[in-house]
Amino acid sequence: MLVDQFGREVSGVRVSLTDRCNFDCVYCHNEGLGDTRGPMDARDDEMSTDDVVRFLEVAREFDVEAVKFTGGEPMLREDLEEIVRRTPDGMETSLTTNGTYLPDRAPDLVDAGLDRVNVSQDALDQEAFAQVTQSGEYEAVIEGVEAALDAGLQPVKLNMVVFEQTAGYVPEMVDHVAENDGLQLQLIEYMPELAGRPEWAVDIQRVHDWLEEQADHVEQRDMHDRRRYWVGGRPASASSGASSDADSESDDDAGGMVEIVDPVGNADFCANCHRVRVTHERYLKGCLNRNDDLRSMGEMSKVEIREAFRETVHERVPYYGEYMIKDDDGEWTINEEYIGV
């Protein structure tokens, strides 16, 4: 397994299959782009099926254990099932999607070998959902979550970006996952450094504090120093109170769990990142949040992929706390040491 200059092993890759999306979420800086008529073959500027598989084969050579397929909306790729099926043995496969195409495709994805799915869902109210996503596909998303559960993709993790427009919906989303078997919730901290609109940011610590009051059990994960809050559906074998070790596999499959993804307010988050990103345009990047560290994989030969992968891992830098540092006023600013890297 390759290790970067900060001692972080790269155990996972996140592969964007397209920048196209049938949603245009108000908080997103890179969705709603391109042709969104529906699932189709890879476009000229997107990695082909063979390109993706060849990259994954090289990643597996370096002992990468997991791949997450993302977009845009990855289910706009007609070949998604084939890509999942051809993923090398020993790599866990997961998918982040808005869920609109899951009703028809969830069983085939499971048959192809998909292990896990995250579905973006920012509200339970249809009108509120439409305001955030600029989409009228609320019912399709709800059906998609049910289809994923029925196909055996449990737990289904619901991704909710927490910012000014959605913060008020957090309590009902927490109740929703507590009351429905097989659902978990990831509350994702809004990052104004990427999406702009700093006035939309909320104090994520207040969300932590509220959840701690609601939770039956609280755990601290080693990975990314994240906290897990078990509400309602906590496994009966667990004891109450806080725990410092929450990385056991048995807990990963239980419903009623809420986790906050808080890279801005969590000093250890980026310092414990173990993923390399891949863009749909055949570039590697050491950090999801940066666009100035792109490294081409050329014509996608295995030799070119290996070289680019090694160089990308070597040059990785934690985003918050290293690439982005706080100035005298406590504001995040780019560390001049990395300008032009």
Q: What residues are designated binding site?
A: 14, 21, 25, 27-28, 68, 72, 96, 120, 157, 270, 273, 275-277, 287
What are the binding residues for [4Fe-4S] cluster? 21, 25, 28, 270, 273, 287
Q: What is the DSSP string of 237-287?
A: TSPSEEES----HHHHT-SSEEEEE-TTT-TTTGGG--EEEE-TTSEEES-
What stretch of H or E contains 329?
none
Rounded Cα distance, 106 and 117, in Å: 10
The two tokens of residue 126 are 């249809």
Burial class (CB in 10 A: 0-12, 13-18, 19+), 248: exposed
Binding-site annotation, residues for S-adenosyl-L-methionine:
27, 72, 120
**Per-state percent for the chain, helix, strand, coil, to nearest 5:** 35, 20, 45
Binding-site residues for GTP, in ranges, read 14, 68, 96, 157, 275-277
- Give, in order, the Cα–Cα distances in Å from 68 to each of 16, 82, 131, 170, 318: 8, 15, 28, 25, 20
**Closest by CA position to 94, among listed 159, 1, 188:** 159
